[in-house]
């Protein structure tokens, strides 16, 4: 039989009557991520997702790597199926894992018998296969506590499955099960991590990026599109709404106190992001703000910024320090792109002495002479939408 992939489901198995909808979404997401690797059959049974190649052209190795990025899965293994017969199972272990058994020094066998009609208990099957392997590979020693190789046997509805050394999955919930949100994506380290964290909780995302040409370069814009591309392996296809932001920043520089510039600029970002969210039916905004990291991320500044919109603002990295955020950025593959030395719209207009604790009254005074609705509408109408697969 052909090699396949077993995916162990995560917390969605705890769902009640709506569990089927979570599984359906997970299957749809898996099929989407598998498309570049050939034709596969994907189905769920007994808290496990099965990924079976439909023909010899399917790239099982590539599919396995892709499934490591599938939110909703806590563990995965490449496996071989066989008839539910003790000798067929033993033969499959020898043929499928023979090289690894020959290379290992210690081993053990673990069995899960989901099909209770199978005539042997889990312990009996483990003892039988383990004993036969001990005879067939004299150099091997049994070590039930710290084995070099663990042979896993699963007896399920349709077949038995043999595998070894499962790998951790992405965890979380299937993308799309928690609704839709708009994430503010800059060229920095934090916002891609924040986007990844909310996708892990089941949010389907679209991105908003604020672009200030000619103060920021086409390379800076491409950097952000590259970051979005790196997130698609986790989130699926993404739309990046590129907002022309130069006119708003120039108007603020002409009319507003320099010390308040960053907070005022971020208030406009929230207003525009909310317009995008309303257009696509999203229920929240996502930012990469981390408390105290920069002047615009004090409690007072975040309160003033959030007051510019009515949608909830999700800040998943707000309580994390930079080392924690960098660790995740490295894990998900965005760090090296994030540190490329291209400017973004926030850094090129940073005031010399930003106000750390702005007050509502002074913000209202600073915005009083601005045509806020007109400025937001002009930026919204100028959005360039880039679809990234």
Look at residue 347 in the predicted model and tell me its pLDDT: 66
Peptide bond into 108 cis (omega under 30): no
- Percent pLDDT > 70 in the chain is 98
pLDDT tens-digit map of 324-336: 999 999 999 999 9
- pLDDT given at position 346: 63
Averaged over 13-27, what is the pLDDT?
A: 90
Give the least confident one: 58-72, 274-288, 349-363: 349-363
Strand intervals (E) in the chain: 3-9, 40-45, 48-53, 73-82, 106-113, 141-142, 149-155, 160-164, 167-171, 180-184, 204-211, 238-244, 285-286, 313-314, 384-388
User: Per-residue b/e over 300-319, b at no fewer than 16 CB within 10 Å?
Assistant: ebbebbbebbebebbbbbbe
pLDDT of residue 322: 95
Q: Is the pLDDT of residue 350 over 80?
A: no
* The predicted structure's pLDDT at residue 44: 92
pLDDT value at position 84?
Answer: 96
Condensed to tens digits (0 to 9), the pLDDT of residues 281-326 reads 999 999 999 998 887 789 999 999 999 999 999 999 999 999 999 9
**pLDDT at position 353:** 75
Output the average pLDDT for the chain. 94
- Report pLDDT digits (tens) over 107-117: 999 999 999 99
Mean pLDDT within 212-231 = 94
pLDDT at 358: 86
The answer to whether residue 348 scores a pLDDT higher than 70 is no
CB-based contact 203:235 (threshold 8 Å): no
Q: Which stretch of 102-106, 164-168, 346-350, 353-357 has the lowest confidence by average pLDDT? A: 346-350
């Amino acid at each position: 039989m052909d090699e396949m992939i077993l995916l162990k489901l995560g917390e969605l198995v705890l769902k009640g009557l709506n569990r089927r909808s979570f599984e359906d979404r997970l299957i749809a997401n898996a099929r989407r991520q598998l498309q570049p690797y050939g034709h596969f059959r994907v189905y769920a049974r007994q808290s496990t997702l099965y990924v079976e190649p439909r023909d010899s052209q399917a790239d099982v190795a590539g599919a396995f790597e892709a499934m490591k990025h599938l939110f909703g899965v806590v563990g995965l293994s490449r496996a071989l199926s066989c008839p539910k017969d003790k000798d067929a199972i033993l033969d499959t272990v020898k043929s499928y894992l023979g090289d690894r058994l020959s290379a290992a020094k210690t081993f053990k066998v673990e069995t899960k018998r989901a099909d209770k009609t199978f005539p042997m208990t889990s312990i009996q099957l483990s003892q039988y296969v383990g004993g036969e392997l001990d005879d067939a590979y004299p150099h091997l020693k049994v070590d039930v506590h710290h084995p070099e190789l663990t042979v896993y046997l699963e007896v399920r509805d349709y077949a038995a499955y043999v595998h070894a050394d499962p790998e951790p999955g992405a965890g979380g919930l299937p993308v799309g099960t928690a609704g839709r949100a708009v994430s503010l994506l800059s060229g920095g380290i934090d916002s891609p991590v924040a986007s990844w964290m909310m996708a892990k909780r089941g949010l389907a995302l679209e991105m908003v990026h604020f672009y200030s040409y000619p103060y920021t370069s086409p390379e800076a814009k491409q950097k952000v599109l590259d970051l979005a591309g790196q997130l698609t392996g986790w989130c699926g296809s993404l739309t990046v709404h590129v907002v022309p932001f130069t006119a708003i920043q120039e108007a603020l520089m002409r009319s507003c106190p320099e010390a308040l510039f960053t907070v005022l600029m971020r208030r406009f970002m929230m207003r525009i992001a909310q317009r995008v969210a309303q257009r696509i039916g999203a229920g929240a905004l996502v930012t990469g703000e981390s408390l105290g990291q920069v002047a615009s991320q004090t409690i007072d500044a975040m309160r003033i910024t959030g007051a510019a919109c009515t949608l909830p603002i999700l800040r998943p990295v707000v309580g994390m320090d930079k080392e924690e955020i960098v660790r995740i950025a490295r894990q998900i593959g965005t760090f090296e792109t994030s540190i490329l030395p291209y400017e973004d719209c926030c850094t090129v207009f940073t005031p010399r002495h930003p106000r750390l604790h702005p007050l509502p009254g002074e913000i209202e005074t600073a915005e009083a002479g601005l045509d806020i609705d007109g400025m937001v509408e002009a930026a919204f109408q100028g959005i360039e939408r880039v679809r990234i697969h």
